[in-house]
Amino acid sequence: MPYYVMLMRFTSEGFAAIHENPDTIGRIREALQRWEAKLLGEYQLLGAYDHCAIFEAPDNFRAYRAALEQEIGTAADTEILPAIDLPLFQRLVTQTTETAGPHHWQIQSWAKLARLSMRWYAYSRWVWRYCKPLTVTGAEHFDAVKGPCIIVGNHTSHMDSLVLFEALPQRVKWNVYFGAAADRWFIKGRKELTLQPWYQSLVMGLFPIQRGGGSATLDYAKWLLEKGCNLVIFPEGTRSTTRKLAKFRHGVSLLALEKNVPVVPIYLTGLKEMRPKGSRELRPGPAGAEILAPIHFPNGCSVPDATHKIYDAMSAVHERHVR
């Protein structure tokens, strides 16, 4: 999730409000929380700016700048800067940012057989070791899906893909491919075997999605659907760090409407506690996968309406679990 540094220079009205009620400065924290941002640090400054807030947020810089300036602009002049942590910056300047893929050969029979032989190593062993137990409900909903489909899930942990895969029927597993961020999973020149782009395509069944790449980034996903493949995409785009579902992006709806395929939502539980974002440690615990009824879109359905329909289906289950 991207990091941001927000610098504020209070107006005279802002200073007056803080002097009258120091708790007024808490509006900054409240504004960030309303926009699903996580506050990492907050400081009062002695210099050209008066206040500094460091936060992470799931959306893009321009959207957050516009939203936050609207909320607190009457009290302060704001400057919001995107940032990355120093170790990541040091790695980036010493390695290529060139990506590889997609690899069209990954749908060939030999590749599917190789993936099947590596399934225990890549997926199942982690689920068996840490999901105690894994409870899957609603598998009968796949009986109504006769052709290719797009499977969506909520995204809270690196365990999400592993558990979602285990929850799928065998006939879907045989021909399913996961959308993954190209700038994370398909970088060239990495030394680790399991981080090689070809490994991601062959063993993990991933295909790259270029973040912010425009409509062309969906071309390979469209090709997979045309070939009768099933797709898994997390429409939140990144792992959520709040109790709310993040805003869904429109990529799934664009694909489903253009290729006339159903969307099957799967709601995952227990995985955020098992491996919270930022943690490298896995803790055993109960996990669940609730497979919902497939969503079919009528002719003439708009992309925003389709996205809302998917979000509403997932949100109804989410609200039940967070009460």
Contact indicator for 227, 45 with CB cutoff of 8 Å: no
Question: Can you give the pLDDT at residue 277?
Answer: 64
Domains 3-90 and 104-322 share a fold: no
88-97, 155-164, 193-202: range with lowest mean pLDDT: 88-97
Read off the pLDDT of each residue in 43-58 and give the average, rounded to a whole number.
85
Q: Is 255 in contact with 310 (CB distance < 8 Å)?
A: no
Structure tokens at 192: 């680790």
Contact 145, 256 (CB under 8 A): no
**Confidence bin at 168 (pLDDT 50/70/90):** very high
CA distance 193 to 136: 32
Highest mean pLDDT among 35-39, 154-158, 207-211, 256-260: 256-260
Class in CATH terms, 104-322: alpha beta
State residue 9's pLDDT score.
Answer: 85
CATH 1.10.15.40 fits 3-90, yes or no: no
Backbone angles phi, psi at 133, to 5 degrees: -100, 175
When pLDDT is averaged across residues 179-185 and rounded to a whole number, the result is 87
pLDDT band, very low/low/confident/very high, at 6 (cuts 50, 70, 90): confident
Helix (H, G, I), strand (E, B) or coil at 272: helix
Asked whether the whole model's pTM tops 0.75, one would answer no
Q: What angle do CA 97, 184, 59 make, to 5 degrees?
A: 105
287 CB neighbour count, 10 Å cutoff: 26
Q: Which residues contact 223 (CB under 8 A, 6 or more apart)?
A: 104
Q: Of 104, 107, 80, which Cα lies nearest the Cα of 6?
A: 80
- Cis bond before residue 235 (omega within 30° of 0): no
Under a CB-based contact definition with an 8 Å cutoff, are residues 131 and 282 in contact?
A: no
Q: What is the band of 279 on the pLDDT scale with cuts at 50, 70, 90?
A: low
What are 291's strand-pairing partners?
266
* H-only helix segments in the chain: 12-20, 26-34, 61-72, 86-93, 109-117, 119, 125-130, 160-167, 170-173, 182-185, 197-202, 219-226, 251-259, 271-274, 303-322
CB atoms within 10 A of CB 77: 15
Q: Which residues, at least 6 apart from 3, have a Cβ–Cβ distance to it below 8 Å?
A: 40, 54, 55, 56, 82, 83, 84, 85
DSSP 211: T
CA–CA distance, 301 with 278 (Å, rounded to integer): 38
Residue with tokens 């499977």: 151
Q: Who wins on pLDDT, 232 or 69?
A: 232
Is 306's pLDDT higher than 80? yes
Parallel, antiparallel or unpaired: strands 285-291 and 131-137: parallel
Flag whether pLDDT at 161 surpasses 70: yes
**Domain parsing of the chain, residue ranges:** 3-90, 104-322
Q: What are phi and psi of 291, to 5 degrees?
A: -85, 125
Which pLDDT tens digit goes with each residue over 214-242?
Answer: 667 899 999 999 999 999 999 987 655 55
Mean pLDDT score, 7-24? 80
Q: What are phi and psi of 279, to 5 degrees?
A: -100, 145
Output the six-digit token pair for 307.
Answer: 């996205």
Please give the full DSSP string across 26-62, using - where no structure is assigned: HHHHHHHHHTT-EEEEEEE-SSS-SEEEEEE-SS-HH
pLDDT in tens, 52-63: 888 887 655 554
- Give, to the nearest 10 degrees, the angle between helix 251-259 and helix 303-322: 120
